[in-house]
Amino acid sequence: MDRFLGAADSALRTLFAKHRPVRPCPIVPGDETHLAAGERREAAALMRVNHVGEVCAQALYTAQALATPDAALRQHFQQAAAEETDHLAWTADRLAELGDRPSLLNPLWYAGAFGLGLLAGRLGDRISLGFVVETEMQVEAHLQSHLERLPAGDHASRAIVVQMKNDEAAHAAQALGAGAVELPAPAKALMRAAAKVMTTTAHYI
């Protein structure tokens, strides 16, 4: 019961609380951000997508922690979720700085990601870890594409995305070291398709 209550608390905090990062927000010293109106809108849309990704990360790790019977692995997932909280706070703050808002569909994204994480966890710990590896690899590629699309002068957003990309690569490596198995190609393709729907929708809503 405590674990279910903890999962419910995590969902409420992810969706409705003000997040405080443990690490300071990444910056590029001496580089100020000056954006035209169109650049600001594009940067905000991309950071909204990244914020949605962090909402989903919280849901995935919380569900996987709930599903595993292994106490050490549960701690691994909980620690990863705590580290991802920095990303959640940074992207939310950057959205506010850009004068925009998070996705209106965040509760839907959270519920869907939680369901996927729970399913992965029920399939076994090594598959659950494999799901982490594939998710983080896809997120890393997605963040690289954002670095190519963000306005060159948006030093603030770019610094955040670079740090997030490095952290996601580290999480994938940790999951591999913990015994992850590679997912089959159809599962990877399905994950990419679901991510495409989410990112395309979150860009606008």
Distance CA 85, CA 14 (A): 9
Provide the residue ranges of all domains of the chain, joining segments of one domain with +. Answer: 2-7+36-202
Nearest to 69 by CA among 125, 120, 5, 6: 125
pLDDT, mean over the chain:
88
| pLDDT for 144 | 93
Instruction: Give pLDDT tens digits for 58-110.
Output: 998 999 998 889 998 898 888 888 888 999 999 999 999 999 999 999 999 99
Where helices occur in 68-184 by DSSP H, the ranges are: 71-97, 106-122, 125-149, 155-177
Question: For 2-7+36-202, which CATH class?
Answer: mainly alpha
Residue 138 in this model has a pLDDT that exceeds 80: yes
| CA distance to 33, 46, 72, 142, per residue, from 27 (Å) | 11, 18, 34, 21
Q: What local confidence, expressed as pLDDT, does residue 80 receive? A: 85
CB atoms within 10 A of CB 159: 19
Mean pLDDT of 21-47: 84
**Residue located via tokens 């990601």:** 113
Alpha-carbon gap, residue 172 to 109, rounded angstroms: 21
pLDDT digits (tens, 9 = 90+) for 148-172: 999 988 999 999 999 999 999 998 9
Q: Tell me the whole-structure pTM to 2 decimals.
A: 0.89
Q: What is the mean pLDDT of residues 170-185?
A: 89
Task: Tell me: pLDDT of 11 over 90.
Answer: no
Do residues 43 and 151 make contact, with C-beta atoms less than 8 angstroms apart?
Answer: yes
The CA-based dihedral angle spanning residues 182, 186, 191, 195, taken in that order and rounded to the nearest 10 degrees: 140
Residues 6+ positions from 119 with CB-CB distance below 8 Å: none
